[in-house]
Amino acid sequence: MRLLVLGGTQFLSRAVAADAVQRGHEVVCASRGQSGTVPPGTTLVRWDRDQDAPAPLTDGGPYDAVVDVARQPSHVRRALAALAASPPSDPHWVFVSTISVYADDADPAGPGAGRLEDPVPDDVDLADDPDAYGGLKVACEQLVLDAAGSAVVVRPGLIVGPGDPSGRFAYWGRRAGDTGELVGPGDPASLVQVIDVRDLAAWIVTLAERRTTGTLDAVGPAMPFADLVREVAPEATVTWLPDAFLEAEGVEPWTGPGSIPVWLPRPEYDGMLAHDARPALDAGLVVRSVAETARDTRLWLESDPAARIGGITREREADLLARWRARTT
């Protein structure tokens, strides 16, 4: 298979390119080449997607499949037009969207059932309007499904693992194997789900190989938060602090330096990390354990001093535990 990866230098798109090379496929990565390197064995074609596609991309021969992770509609339009003008081929498109396309975070309903955000057809600077993200991805999905002869849309939830630039799961990866006392945020029965970037990348390559069509949530099995923490640090003592206490103490949910990552307010986010993984598993997704992901994330953190770790510090965590004990004794 000759695969075009639009990107290839960061996290998921880089993992896709690396997995495809390992399977023996010919891989071309199209990116500016400014945010990292492409995996060994791939070919880099430099392309700023705010500009028209360069000749080496369109004249380099037909592609069997394309993987795109774009979030700006103009980038998707430009890519679709460029490949339509390339030598005769019928590339299968794998468009990587997001579960943020769903408008109701309390509802775990997936493709065909979950209500979507209104599409945002024109580019938006997400630094100015981060809430536009879901609508932008809806518009990108529609462009691909309308224009590509063969396509699949995958909607990942929280992508985790080594190399994660968000720092969210790194917060938990840093705790992998810990034996001390940890904060468990909120209700231990609240459902959460993650997907390892390596598992998602491998599945995307499989979808390209099989020319799978349709729309699928790209999620691992949902589990109680208590099970996730137990897999991360099975020997640790976990003290679960109620939502109300954490909110009163100024702890933020989900992401950011003052947050406990992955924790979300309930019930308004009951559905965001509780989507049905069965359709993806039936379509070939294979997932590893959270314990393995956490272990490998910690190893990556220890090997890369520049790796980002989100969330509150250990000192802040200890202070929260002390304040909780003072309040309840």
pLDDT digit string, tens, across residues 20-54:
999 999 999 999 987 889 999 999 999 999 999 99
pLDDT at 86 exceeding the cut of 80 = no
Query: What is the pTM assigned to this prediction?
Result: 0.97
Question: If you average pLDDT over every residue of the chain, what do you get?
Answer: 95
Looking at residue 88, what is its pLDDT?
A: 63
Looking at residue 3, what is its pLDDT?
A: 97
Residue 302: Cβ-neighbour burial (10 angstroms; 0-12, 13-18, 19+): exposed
pLDDT at 8 exceeding the cut of 90 = yes
Looking at residue 33, what is its pLDDT?
A: 83
Average pLDDT, integer, range 81-104: 90
168-192+221-273+288-321: CATH topology: UDP-galactose 4-epimerase; domain 1 (3.90.25)
Looking at residue 328, what is its pLDDT?
A: 86
- Residue 60 makes CB contacts below 8 A (sequence gap 6+) with 28, 45, 86
Say which residue the tokens 């299968």 belong to. Answer: 92
Nearest to 42 by CA among 53, 33, 34: 33
Dump pLDDT digits (tens) for 181-217: 999 999 999 999 999 999 999 999 999 999 999 999 9
Is the CATH number of domain 2-156 3.30.420.40? no
CATH 3.90.25 domain extents, the chain: 168-192+221-273+288-321
Instruction: Give the model's confidence band at 87: pLDDT under 50 very low, under 70 low, under 90 confident, else very high.
Output: low
Dump pLDDT digits (tens) for 271-325: 999 999 999 999 999 999 999 999 999 999 999 988 999 999 999 999 999 999 9
Dump pLDDT digits (tens) for 148-193: 999 999 999 999 999 999 999 999 999 999 999 999 999 999 999 9
